[in-house]
Structure 1
């Protein structure tokens, strides 16, 4: 039995409470394990070698320049004849307590990014470098449980039970006077995303990659700040609007509110969307996207166990290894579906021995990035290490050679493997950055190398057009700009909603 590395041992420590364990489980599934840490401590207050440090937060996610800090508070909702007293007591413990923890954690990270550890004894340093604090983008998330049933009762069973959003609430006093509603609990200079039992699940099921989530957070903060008064019936309604609105191939929240000073988003759209045919079709289509997640997790396991090796014998730091898998994880859920489907198609096709099958895919998410998927069957007469080295060299040459065809390319990500039909398989994954255009001399050398291998020849490169829609649909039944499908009732409901939205926009009020 192999001995676990300190990194492996540290992440296996279970969070203390059931609520924190649930949050950690959801987050690791959504953001993947190499970026999620539920036991991060600082050496603040550690007075002896045998002493413990101070817990930083309940969940810590670092992904490129993005730092997500989660505070989890599960507080029983107190009973009192005066509803403002009950709300005030719960708010102080759950929301105000979370906000204080989040602000304290952010302050410490900004001032001491090199004093974070994966264990409470502070013996296992955080495994890779945090971003430059001048470039870091912090996202503060307060997970507050315990108010759901009380909210249902307060609204007479006519609400989903989620916390409402009111942008006019900017201080503690205003929040204490407005039950089951949040605005800017940390003040208008710091946005805190407040989630409850319902909206945590909705958020991490609908936006289950870091790129998808931070994209939504950015749009949400802009939207809430876009008018003097913004009222949203619940986070789930805002998520629904975001998930069903597109501009330039990206999800957005409405932007065009000329001279408006009031925006209102009513309740009910999430319930319809949750049970709609288009959402079911999208979720079914997304199943293959998790193949992409599995590749990332497979590589991450070897990084944590310190078993990830370069075929060419080079040694890479944890920072470099993390950057490689992060390149794969920078893709959105829809992009992972497209890429996963393409890779899966290459892997399942038969490839004669002594040949290879390669497919080039542009990244649907990152401009200037191209993927190279190569399948090379192994000749059993060839030593396996020699086979791996030859395959890795072929992949590297192909990725470099793409600059012949795409001179503006700035990144290449390559993945090589045996076909699915092989009894055993391994993966080679590489990442290359090209900050400067290739010189004429470099292009000449690349041409010679590619010609020697017989690759990237114009006569053998056959382009294949493909069309993918986030919400699968039947051709001719729905407009190309919607990306939605579903049954006839779904389509009528959405068309009606779109007509209503246009009329309300004219009244400078979104209802």
Structure 2
């Protein structure tokens, strides 16, 4: 029996890991991390660490055999204890070392973490209802996903920024509430224990008829927020939301189909990071990857469209002509430029300097980070990053102005802005 349970547990964790690797990049995922410099025990089922974000997962894969309360005790309650233990290990110990399967042992960077999320993924199927949240001590919030919800949310919001945005807005809406998803086919002859569970704290509860995928449909169609009909009433003592079938309607809508097609351009960024950046041993590659992957799916789409236009431009340009393309996203500036195979390393480095200096000066140092991407017609990519750089002194600025004048840059410069809508017209 214990062997069967372990096999099911391993299968469940592998299922979750593969989805997480695909959506959030394996590079940031630590499956079953152990307390390497402590008791060597597994801390949690999956840990994701990206910039200042930490996501702690507990995965349960028990078969539902008809008794809801026994099932919840074997899954949710055990998972809550595991998450609480993982949090104490990671954030209350002086130093915790963990290991990524593809890297050496490293110290868990608890001092850089500012956002912590706890998630239970319950893979058992066939329940008629289940809680989708848990608030501990009025502030410590736990997200609960079933199998289908996790797979859908992770595949539809398949960047760390998009995923976190949903978690944060969901938490804001549901914190300190008892929130339950209830099947539209809920049996009428529920036993006393099930009825008691559904009616417990009913004065402070939200009942969702349908699935969380239906809730996600409303999130998408309401410009990445929850409808006012829900948020304006979230302070009510009791609310029932019947949204059965909303997900199927959304996924089959022209808007969703056009969005999926338009998003194909965004995967330029994902593929660039995976195939050209993280596989290199050069300095700053991990930092460049983090900056690019801090863009959500819509911003990545804008970058992809910009690059497609730029690459078409350089392939059709006169021989020897240097092209540049600038795009910005908040404090991040990206500059594409073309170079030629016959250039030596010194010429390429000089071009990097010219590109950075002239654009930083032209935009009066308003961007915190510059990523420069050189591309040849092969294409072959080369990268450079400048972060938290200082303002050039007066003498250097005079040299930069002279270079701009000599090169004729920015004389007829028109910044091209790609306005992208999540649902294209």
TM over 0.5: yes
Contact 2:138 2:176 in 1 (8 A): no
State the partner residue of 1:138.
116
- Secondary structure of the corresponding residue to residue 385 of structure 2: strand
Distance 2:212 2:296 in 1: 21
Greater RCO, CA 8 A, separation 6+: 1
Distance 1:280 1:113, change over 3 A: farther
Deviation at 1:55, TM superposition (A): 1.2
Which residue, 63, 71, 75 being the options, matches 1:94?
75
Gaps of 5+ in 2: 1-7, 178-203
Distance 1:16 1:400 in 2: 54
- Is residue 359 from structure 1 mapped to residue 339 from structure 2 by the alignment? no
Deviation at 1:185, TM superposition (A): 5.7
State the partner residue of 1:336.
300
Q: C-alpha deviations, 1:347-396, integer Å up to 9, x for none?
A: 23314443322100111xxx2321101122323xx5xxx2x443243134
Distance 2:217 2:233 in 1: 23
State the partner residue of 2:415.
463
State the partner residue of 1:204.
154
| RMSD of aligned alpha carbons | 2.8
Distance 1:199 1:112 in 2: 33
Deviation at 1:38, TM superposition (A): 1.1
Which residue, 75, 78, 85 being the options, matches 1:104?
85
State the partner residue of 2:36.
43
Distance 1:198 1:16, change over 3 A: closer
- Secondary structure of the corresponding residue to residue 105 of structure 2: coil
State the partner residue of 1:68.
55
Distance 1:359 1:57 in 2: 44
Q: C-alpha deviations, 1:255-282, integer Å up to 9, x for none?
A: 6628952554322322211222211110
Distance 1:321 1:108, change over 3 A: farther
Distance 1:273 1:142, change over 3 A: same
- Is residue 398 from structure 1 mapped to residue 391 from structure 2 by the alignment? no
Q: C-alpha deviations, 1:408-428, integer Å up to 9, x for none?
A: 222211111112xx2xx4322
TM-score using structure 1 length: 0.68
Distance 1:252 1:125, change over 3 A: same
Alignment map for 1:421-432 (pairs within 5 Å)? 422=378, 425-432=379-386
- Secondary structure of the corresponding residue to residue 150 of structure 1: coil
Which residue, 229, 232, 241 being the options, matches 1:265?
241
State the partner residue of 1:82.
none
Gaps of 5+ in 1: 1-14, 47-52, 80-85, 152-178, 310-315, 474-511
Q: Which has the higher strand share?
A: 2
